[in-house]
Amino acid sequence: MRRSIVNDPEDLVPEALEGLVLSHPQLLDLDAQHRFVTRRQRARGKVGLVSGGGSGHEPLHAGFVGTGMLDVAVAGAVFASPTALQVLEATKAADAGRGVVQIVKNYTGDVLNFRIAGEISGDDAIETEIVLVDDDLATDRDGDGPGRRGTAATVIVEKVCGAAAEEGADLQQVAAVGRRTAAAARTMSLALAAGTHPGDPEPQFTLGHDEVELGVGIHGERAARRVPFTSADGLTDLLLDPLLKDLGLSRGDEVLAIVNDLGSTYPLELQLVARRLHHRLEGAGITVGRWLVGPYVTSLDMHGLSLTLMPLDDELRRLWDAPVRTPALSW
């Protein structure tokens, strides 16, 4: 069993937000009452960007607040949406007079609370647009369901929208490039071991010695299937093959890749996945033009990883490469 480093578990999220802000005093400010983090130097004359969701996925979202990315990130309890009231206050804080893009991972609670907040903020004459992130290929189904879940592509959407807003794009333009990004990116995830909630004695689920959870969610949602455990190269292929099939990439294409640690994967393990990814795509005539390899969207201490691919074009490459200065992403 895992023991957590906590004080009163009820205080985990507010205390952690306080710690994040105290350790980034040049970058961040805290609204303790509504549990959101803002840039210390508020942006002026640009479209505002707010995101947020349940905690337990750090550095998402508050780690991406700063110049060139989010203006505000609002935090719910572990794996629980922030309330509509929190999102409303966060949306107001993000507004600098040109409207606010709300970047929302596709989960029922988050979508509902951001939508309510967007409607109410209209009463304050704040224009809002929602950009829904729904990149998780494991939940791609025909029919009227909730649609694909939002996972690590959120980082790309936040970065690209942040750069567009910084360049002076208007509300519709920022929302449009965010939607285009979300529509282009797909992610597959696997777990060798589930994460453990702070305070819980046991992990969210257990797997047999030979089993891998292929298509796991970032809240520990079980997958439709378990597959046999295999080598680093084999595990990479399990993620890559469905992505290649779905994205329909062809020779000469260039992609952005995120090899994302879901919590307690060693860097050495991630680097093996990056290696295999490079060689597989190189063999197919596809270039990985931009990379992130590390913990970006975690699921507590889950041992597992996700692989996100997004085809790059000139606009997306330029927006990705634009300067950024946040706790978790800086160049």
Residue 57 bears catalytic tag: yes
Q: Of the candidates 68, 106, 301, 311, which one interacts with a second copy according to CB under 8 A?
A: 301
Nearer to a second copy, 198 or 215 (CB): 198
* Residues that contact a second copy, how many (by CB under 8 A): 61
53 near a second copy, rule: CB under 8 A: no
Residue 219 bears catalytic tag: yes
Q: Of the candidates 81, 298, 306, 308, which one interacts with a second copy according to CB under 8 A?
A: 298
18 near a second copy, rule: CB under 8 A: yes
Nearer to a second copy, 88 or 310 (CB): 310
Two structure tokens written together for 211: 């089993």
User: What does the per-residue mask of binding to a second copy show for 198-237, with x meaning CB under 8 A?
Assistant: x----------x-------------------x-xxx-x--
- Minimum gap (Å) between residue 207 Cβ and a second copy: 9
Which residues here bind a second copy, judged by CB under 8 A? 1-7, 12-13, 15-20, 22-24, 55-56, 58-59, 63, 78, 192-193, 198, 209, 229, 231-233, 235, 259, 263-276, 278, 288, 291, 293, 295, 298, 300-301, 303, 305, 325, 330-331
Write out the catalytic residue numbers: 57, 219
